[in-house]
Amino acid sequence: MMATRGPLQLTLALFKPDITRVPHVVQAIRNRIIQEDFFVVRHKEVRLSRQDTEQFYEEHRGKFFYNRLVTFMSSGPSQALILAHEDAIKHWRALMGPTKVYKTKYEAPDTIRGMYGLTDTRNSTHGSDAEETAAREMKFFFPEFCQEDWYRVEEDRFRKGQVRLDEVKFMHNLF
Ligand code: ADP
Ligand code: MG
């Protein structure tokens, strides 16, 4: 655990259905998240319906891969996480690697998508791409989570490291 940390940012991460069915890959990605000093602020397993997925990926409606994307994303369970880190949005996307797996396997082989991605669609993980999308996506998966309250009440204590990892729930709790 780092001794001192700057202001934390929140982002929404998703383990997609291609990896949730492979427990050792889930564990490896979890280890990577902890190694990179992310805090896991919320975590839950979710099963997205086709309609949920269409809503989540609304921005991509009409693209050539849209139909295969929503079919894939509603094909099995996912795990949704709210992650905290300095510059969490960029940091998580850097750890995931670029979208397109076939290319990423050569260009960024150490990233999550480079290591575990199967195809350009089945690419292991999702990460919000900006603050506004992070806010919308956190609301989508964790409607009861209030970002403002978290920053007001908890951010400072997370930053000071007053947290403990619950390995079973894979979530950090304040102590
Ligand atoms: P990212 O997930 O990196 O933010 P996008 O928002 O562009 O990428 O796309 C959303 C998801 O749609 C991707 O993660 C991937 O699952 C799928 N996708 C994107 N581009 C392609 C493509 N060219 N071919 C197949 N699937 C794609
Ligand atoms: Mg995106």
Q: What is the pLDDT of residue 1?
A: 53
Nearest CA residue ID for atom 11, ligand 1:
121
Q: Please confirm, yes or no, whether 60 is among the known catalytic residues.
A: no
Q: Cα of 164 to ligand 2 centre, how many Å? A: 31
Instruction: Give the pLDDT band (50/70/90) at residue 43.
Output: very high
Look-up of token digits 């806010």: 135
Averaged pLDDT for residues 118-147: 98
Class level of CATH domain 9-88+123-162: alpha beta
pTM above 0.95, yes or no: yes
Q: Give the mutation target among 69, 99, 122 for probing the ligand 1 site: most ligand atoms within 8 A of CB.
A: 99
Strand ranges in 62-156 using DSSP code E only, listed in sequence order: 77-85, 125-127
At 82-128, the pLDDT tens digits run: 999 999 999 999 999 999 999 999 999 999 999 999 999 999 999 99
How many residues are present in the chain?
175
Nearest partner of 49 among 79, 16, 66, 74, judged by Cα = 74
What does the alpha-carbon distance between residue 100 and residue 60 come to, in Å, rounded to a whole number? 15
Nearest CA residue ID for atom 22, ligand 1:
120
At 6-39, the pLDDT tens digits run: 999 999 999 999 999 999 999 999 999 999 999 9
What does the alpha-carbon distance between residue 175 and residue 173 come to, in Å, rounded to a whole number? 6
What does the alpha-carbon distance between residue 122 and residue 4 come to, in Å, rounded to a whole number? 37
Ligand 1 atom having least distance to the Cα of 66: 12
